[in-house]
Amino acid sequence: MHISEGILSPTVLIGGAALTAAGVAVGMKNLDHKEIPTLGILSAAFFVATLIHVPAGPVSAHLILNGLVGLILGWKAFPAILVGLALQALLFQFGGITTLGVNTLNMALPAVICYYVFGNGLKPGAGRSVIISSAFGAGFCSVLMSGIMVGLSLYLTGEAFLSAAKLIVAAHLPVMFIEGILTAACVLFLKKVRPEILEGDHVS
């Protein structure tokens, strides 16, 4: 899901950076200092998960955990994912500095969308089946949307990247199911030990 330097057109890079800046601004606007430890832990989890790459032909697949990050943080997923990607670019040359905005947008925007679509399924009083299906949906759909957005970023740069865009989405199909199961397991665990983390500012 990391797009490297020197691939995207300037228009796509500028557009991605501008949208990411807006998303980070929204996320930071109502950030309480008590939420910083949670944000830091999830940013670290995202950082570690996306470092583990599995080769899949000319591309590689990896966990993202943006569905879980989105369910817990909402708009604050933007700064959390931005920090994780920035450290990866600086320390391991994954992605790049110029593509940081686009890469953040491709992973954080699906996280926010899943927060609004599936967040209500985690509210107090929700049944176990609803919680599991909502968490699985968030994990699955966040990766699906990220793959589509990466493909769209490449396609907007040039139609020559269309085959690569399709391959990226296909390579992450197994990851979508794994992320769905992992997100559901994490949510069930948090519901038992720290339910307040999942019962924050969800839409009503």
Is 1 within the bounds of a domain?
Answer: no
Q: What is the pLDDT of residues 33-48, one digit of tens each?
A: 888 888 999 999 888 8
What the block records as the tokens of 103 is 């890469």
Is 203 within the bounds of a domain?
Answer: no
Structurally, the chain folds into a number of domains equal to: 1
Q: Is the model more confident about 52 or about 97?
A: 97
Lowest mean pLDDT segment, chosen from 69-83, 128-142, 159-173: 159-173
Helix boundaries (H) for the chain:
10-29, 36-49, 66-73, 77-92, 100-118, 128-157, 162-171, 173-193
Instruction: Give the pLDDT band of residue 201 (cuts 50, 70, 90).
Output: low
Q: What is the pLDDT of residues 69-96, one digit of tens each?
A: 999 999 999 999 999 999 988 888 877 8
Instruction: Give the pLDDT band of residue 54 (cuts 50, 70, 90).
Output: low
Position 63 scores a pLDDT of 79
Is 193 within the bounds of a domain?
Answer: yes
**Average pLDDT over the chain, rounded to whole?**
86
Is 2 within the bounds of a domain?
Answer: no
Is 5 within the bounds of a domain?
Answer: no
Q: How far apart are CA 91 and CA 10, in angstroms?
A: 24
CATH code: domain of residue 63: 1.10.1760.20
Is 3 within the bounds of a domain?
Answer: no
Lowest mean pLDDT segment, chosen from 23-27, 88-92, 156-160, 188-192: 156-160
Is 204 within the bounds of a domain?
Answer: no
Amino acid at 141: C
Q: How far apart are CA 177 and CA 184, in angstroms?
A: 11
Is 18 within the bounds of a domain?
Answer: yes
Instruction: Give the pLDDT band of residue 200 (cuts 50, 70, 90).
Output: low
Note down the domain range covering 82: 10-198
